[in-house]
Amino acid sequence: MEDTSCFHCGAPCDLEEIRYDGKPFCCNGCKTVYQIFQDNDLDYYYQLEGAPGNSPASEKGRYDFLDDPLIAERLLEFQDASHHIVVLSIPQIHCSSCIWILENLHRLNPGVYSSQVDFPKREARIHFDPEKISLKDLAGLLSAIGYEPSITLEDYSGTKKKADRKLIYQLGVAGFAFGNIMFLSFPEYFETGEFWLEQYKGLFRWIMFSFSVPVVVYSGSGYLVSAYKGLRSGLLNIDVPIALGILVLFLRSTAEIVFDLGQGFFDSLSGLVFFLLLGKFFQQRTYSYLSFERDYKSYFPIAVTRLLDGGREENIPVYEVQKGDRLLIRNGSLVPADSILLRGAGEIDYSFVTGEARPVSKQSGERLYAGGKQLQGAIEIEVLKPVSQSYLTELWSDAAFSKSSKTGFRTLTDRIGKRFTLAVLAIAFTAAAFWLWKDASMSLNVLTAVLIIACPCAIALAAPFTLGNLLRIFGKRGFYVKDTESLERMALVDTAIFDKTGTLTTSRKNSIRYTGIELTEQESEVLKNTLRASGHPLSQALYRQLAPYNIVPLDDFEEHLGQGLEGRVADQQIRVGSSRFVRGEDPSAEEGTEVHISANNAYRGRFIIQNSYREGAGRLLERMGHDYSLAVLSGDNESERAFLGELLPPLTPMYFNQKPVQKLEFIRELQRQGRNVLMVGDGLNDAGALAQSQVGIAVSEDAGLFTPACDAILDGRRFSELDAFLKITRKGMKIIYLSFALSLLYNLAGLYFAVTGELEPVIAAILMPLSSISIVSFTTAATNWIGRTLKK
Amino acid sequence: MSVIYLLLAISILIALVFFAAFVFSVRKGQYDDSYTPSVRMLFEDELLPRDPEPENPDHQQNNTN
């Protein structure tokens, strides 16, 4: 086979190659998109980046619900008669070509006024004229060019998240005040008693005072509030000494200028707050296009098609689905509620919900559970329970989702903060008591000086910068961690639990093997051509696997939905499909995904299709086995027990047929034994376990697509490096300890000045930024150093 | 001698103007997306050498619009 890749999307053209305009395409969809862009003079798209496209999804009627004004109203950000604005989330955005084409949408359709892409969020804000293009057609247009907007229940029910800009304002205010106060205080650092300085120092000092008021009241308010809350609940967190430092700095400086004792420490005060906020800002930078809080809502469709009497169809929001409603579920759509199959052949893929790899065939009258995906053809169902009460959604009522298990965690900084605060207070009062005895007028000076100089700015910066930088390093390498606290918890993990389907295995690649009587050349040829005619995912997988044969027209072809295919060329007849369809036997319980073949009604054999294990999964588990206790929890049946056993280190416990709730309970039991558990999973069936565990990592083929709520998302291609990430996290904690030691040295140097009563403003103004900057550069350099071992 | 008052007033005023500009830019959402604009500024008005044959004046006209 020729080794070409699609000009549009870059995928290998192994299924079939379509030549158009002298360029190879992997499918008709890609070719069509190329044509659309050609016709509209938009082929600059292909010049920006090579093969930037996405293969378009073609499902008619998918966005019909957008015609419903009630639903559309919820999605639109702004609407009047001739101007609508909508913000659509488009996970496929991945490169500059994507930005370009989406911002040139108006060239594809005159109804679009303009569009603007927010790349980090993977969103497009589109202004359009509802009279020329409806929201539905807009979604259709995006779909047709391979940028299918993802519109889920979350968009519908979710309160529009407002950008929180408070930290930026606070940082701006602090930085502004810091700079100006620095200028104003500079003259007094070195020159005292000079004539003009004496004359105007009052003015300068009061201006500095007025600059510092907003720093304390607005920028520093977070620390004051957090310290107050901590104290009220009996916790000495790191914010207590910080708040103490801020308040003492401000009060002493004010007292100094009121009584004309000196220039105060306004510069150090604003600098302190500025650096602290900078640390917070660095820590807060996350991946805004990833969501770590998803529940079933973002997996579910926003609307479904309800069938009314007389064959009419109606789109209703999924929330309004009532018991007894009859719904039409299209090819590739989700079953939104527990229900009974009425008409059509169900071929339901529950892999995401239960971990069961094999799609199940359902006949009319059988029960369907919410969350399954209909793989082939449309079906009609009758709803048994409303969406919020289905088997799947009930998992979310478990206590694990109220996050109680994780909120109790105290960060390293807070744990240190307690001891630190006590030590500082002890030193401050001892020194004050000493001076009270020696020279009472110095006592208050020394007390405040100790509290000022010991303000743990550098300590408070160590963790944010170390972990913040690790987040960034990991993010570049496909491991997206929710926040720095998750990293800290990750360093403490001693037990790792893996899901099987979708986690250890990948849905991207199948391994197919054949057992039975060898097929003849002629049989294989008919088989290949029969498969070619079917759109079923298994047929396609098998089709790709078989050696190329001539394409011959079938004399006879019939597709029995949910059962199999039948094809005939001349006198050669082939049946492909389920065991029941081909040989009239029910499949055994241990059977995996299998496709059976018979030729001229004589049974030949079967293809066994397995999700292949991810590359390096075996070695990863072996390496991790040294440091962690491992276990595998699978929702799948036992068909792969033997195979999995070879892959895992000996004696690794394996549990099969695990329901989502059982997985959750398993983790909870381990935690009762005092373990720190890491759960690695992928689907909704792991959602409970991911939420309950100390650290839940969701493995995803594409980080932009759906992942259940978790603490980190790991790109499937990086799966084999999981242990390296964990190791680096542990090293990161060591860096934090080292930074603590480093900052204590600065504190000791400062304490010398404070205790002896010689703390000049200029010393504080030098020491504070110096300690902060050296901590920041040390942690940044050190994390880059330990991160270098990771592959790019 | 009170020129120092004037100078201080001016310097603080200028500082405040810049501060106001900062607040304005944050409010307008300029800090919400710090990546896309850096890409966007690079592809404005690209004129493609789409048709190598220059004897197609109609097309040239279309492109320059």
Determine which of A94, A106, A118, A274 to mutate to test the interface with B (most B C-beta atoms within 10 Å): A118
Of B5, B32, B34, the CB nearest to A163: B32
Percent of chain A with pLDDT over 90: 11
CATH 2.70.150.10 domain extents, chain A: 296-397
Q: How high is the pLDDT of residue B50? A: 46
Instruction: Check pLDDT > 90 for residue B16.
Output: yes
Q: What is the pLDDT of residues B21-57, one digit of tens each?
A: 999 998 888 887 778 888 888 776 655 544 444 444 4
Instruction: Check pLDDT > 90 for residue A370.
Output: no
What is the token pair recorded at A511?
């391994």
User: Quick check: B63 contacting A, CB < 8 Å?
Assistant: yes
What pTM does this model have? 0.77
What is the token pair recorded at A194?
């000079």
Q: How high is the pLDDT of residue B18? A: 94
Say how far apart CA A541 and CA A466 lie, in whole Å.
46
Helix (H), strand (E) counts: chain A: 28, 28
Which residues in chain A have Cβ-Cβ distances shorter than 8 Å to B15? Answer: 176, 179-180
Q: How high is the pLDDT of residue A645? A: 82
Contact (CB<8Å) A44/B15: no
User: Quick check: A293 contacting B, CB < 8 Å?
Assistant: no
- A285 pLDDT tier (thresholds 50, 70, 90): low
Say how far apart CA A524 and CA A522 lie, in whole Å.
5
Contact A734, A778 (CB under 8 A): no
User: Quick check: B24 contacting A, CB < 8 Å?
Assistant: no
Which residues in chain B have Cβ-Cβ distances shorter than 8 Å to A121? Answer: 33
Which residues in chain A have Cβ-Cβ distances shorter than 8 Å to B52? Answer: none
Instruction: Check pLDDT > 50 for residue B64.
Output: no
Surface of A (207-226) touching B: CB under 8 A: 207
Most confident of A102-111, A205-214, A362-371: A205-214
Q: How high is the pLDDT of residue A483? A: 83
Say how far apart CA A681 and CA A691 lie, in whole Å.
11
Other beta carbons less than 10 A from residue A408's beta carbon: 7
Say how far apart CA B44 and CA B53 lie, in whole Å.
24
Q: Which DSSP letter does residue A718 get?
A: G
Q: What is the pLDDT of residues A479-529, one digit of tens each?
A: 888 888 888 899 989 999 998 877 888 766 677 778 888 888 888 888 888
Q: Which H/E stretch holds residue A316?
A: strand A313-317
Of B33, B50, B62, the CB nearest to A43: B50
Which residues in chain B have Cβ-Cβ distances shorter than 8 Å to A125? Answer: none
Give the nearest chain A residue to B44 (CA atoms): A100
Contact (CB<8Å) A41/B12: no
Q: Which DSSP letter does residue A363 get?
A: -
> What is the DSSP secondary-structure string of A548-570?
P------SEEEEETTTEEEEEET
Of B23, B31, B50, the CB nearest to A41: B50
How distant is the Cα of A491 from the closest Cα of chain B, in angstroms?
A: 31
How distant is the Cα of B41 from the closest Cα of chain A, in angstroms?
A: 10
Q: How high is the pLDDT of residue A58? A: 56
Instruction: Check pLDDT > 70 for residue A57.
Output: no
How distant is the Cα of A202 from the closest Cα of chain B, in angstroms?
A: 12
Contact (CB<8Å) B43/A96: yes
Q: What is the pLDDT of residues A552-571, one digit of tens each?
A: 778 888 877 667 888 888 88
Contact (CB<8Å) B36/A120: yes
Contact A355, A499 (CB under 8 A): yes
Q: How high is the pLDDT of residue B53? A: 41
How distant is the Cα of B30 from the closest Cα of chain A, in angstroms?
A: 11
Contact (CB<8Å) B8/A203: yes
What is the token pair recorded at A498?
């893996």
Q: How high is the pLDDT of residue A173? A: 94
User: Quick check: B6 contacting A, CB < 8 Å?
Assistant: no
Average pLDDT, chain A: 81
Q: How high is the pLDDT of residue A274? A: 93
How distant is the Cα of A393 from the closest Cα of chain B, in angstroms?
A: 34
Q: What is the pLDDT of residues A67-82, one digit of tens each?
A: 777 777 778 888 888 8
Determine which of B7, B12, B39, B41 to mutate to test the interface with A (most A C-beta atoms within 10 Å): B39
Average pLDDT over residues A564-584: 83
Q: How high is the pLDDT of residue A403? A: 56
Of A41, A118, A169, the CB nearest to B26: A169
User: Quick check: B21 contacting A, CB < 8 Å?
Assistant: no
Helix (H), strand (E) counts: chain B: 3, 0
**Whose structure tokens read 């302190």?**
A272
Q: What is the pLDDT of residues A759-774, one digit of tens each?
A: 777 888 888 888 888 9
Q: How high is the pLDDT of residue B1? A: 55
Determine which of B5, B16, B40 to mutate to test the interface with A (most A C-beta atoms within 10 Å): B40
Say how far apart CA A779 and CA A464 lie, in whole Å.
10
Q: What is the pLDDT of residues A432-480, one digit of tens each?
A: 888 888 887 778 888 888 888 887 788 888 888 898 889 888 888 888 8
User: Quick check: B9 contacting A, CB < 8 Å?
Assistant: no
Helices A484-491, A457-476: crossing angle, 10 deg rounding: 90
Most confident of A115-129, A182-196, A728-742: A728-742
Give the nearest chain B residue to A42 (CA atoms): B48
CA atoms within 13 A on the CB side of A205: 23
User: Quick check: A117 contacting B, CB < 8 Å?
Assistant: yes
The dotted CATH code for A64-151 is 3.30.70.100
Which residues in chain A have Cβ-Cβ distances shorter than 8 Å to B4? Answer: 200
Q: How high is the pLDDT of residue A334? A: 81
DSSP strand pairing (A677-681 vs A495-499): parallel
Q: What is the pLDDT of residues A138-166, one digit of tens each?
A: 888 888 888 888 777 666 655 555 567 88
CATH 3.30.70.100 domain extents, chain A: 64-151
Average pLDDT over residues A711-720: 86
Q: How high is the pLDDT of residue A588? A: 65
User: Quick check: A100 contacting B, CB < 8 Å?
Assistant: yes
Which residues in chain A have Cβ-Cβ distances shorter than 8 Å to B25? Answer: none
Instruction: Check pLDDT > 80 for residue A319.
Output: no
Which residues in chain B have Cβ-Cβ distances shorter than 8 Å to A176? Answer: 15, 18-19, 22
CATH 2.70.150.10 corresponds to the domain A296-397: yes
Contact (CB<8Å) B8/A48: no
Most confident of A180-194, A319-333, A712-726: A712-726
DSSP strand pairing (A695-700 vs A303-307): unpaired
Most confident of A32-41, A113-122, A606-615: A113-122
Q: How high is the pLDDT of residue A224? A: 92
Taking alpha carbons only, the member of A424, A282, A245 closest to residue A776 is: A282
ipTM of the complex: 0.72
Q: How high is the pLDDT of residue A2? A: 46
Which residues in chain A have Cβ-Cβ distances shorter than 8 Å to B34? Answer: 120
Of B4, B22, B33, the CB nearest to A200: B4
Which residues in chain A have Cβ-Cβ distances shorter than 8 Å to B27? Answer: 165
Taking alpha carbons only, the member of A348, A336, A317, A351 closest to residue A382 is: A336
User: Quick check: A168 contacting B, CB < 8 Å?
Assistant: yes
Buried/exposed A702-741: b ≥16 CB within 10 Å, e otherwise: ebbebbbbbbbbbbbebbbbbbbbbbbbebbbebbebbbe
Determine which of A100, A114, A196, A287 to mutate to test the interface with B (most B C-beta atoms within 10 Å): A100
Q: How high is the pLDDT of residue A587? A: 67
State the amino acid at position B13 in one-letter form: L
Helices A761-787, A166-190: crossing angle, 10 deg rounding: 130
Instruction: Check pLDDT > 90 for residue A211.
Output: yes
Say how far apart CA A610 and CA A509 lie, in whole Å.
9
Q: How high is the pLDDT of residue A746? A: 87
Instruction: Check pLDDT > 60 for residue A355.
Output: yes
Contact (CB<8Å) B19/A176: yes
Say how far apart CA A634 and CA A655 lie, in whole Å.
6
Give the nearest chain A residue to B32 (CA atoms): A163
Average pLDDT over residues A610-637: 84
Question: Is residue A206 classed as helix, strand or coil in its secondary structure?
Answer: helix
What is the token pair recorded at A757?
């009563």
Contact (CB<8Å) A169/B23: yes
Of B12, B15, B39, the CB nearest to A96: B39
Average pLDDT over residues A618-646: 84
Q: What is the pLDDT of residues A221-259, one digit of tens each?
A: 999 998 899 888 887 888 888 898 899 999 999 998 898
Q: How high is the pLDDT of residue A16? A: 65
Of B27, B40, B63, the CB nearest to A99: B40
Q: What is the pLDDT of residues A393-425, one digit of tens each?
A: 666 666 666 654 455 677 888 888 788 888 888
Instruction: Check pLDDT > 70 for residue A708.
Output: yes
Contact A347, A361 (CB under 8 A): yes
Contact (CB<8Å) B19/A121: no
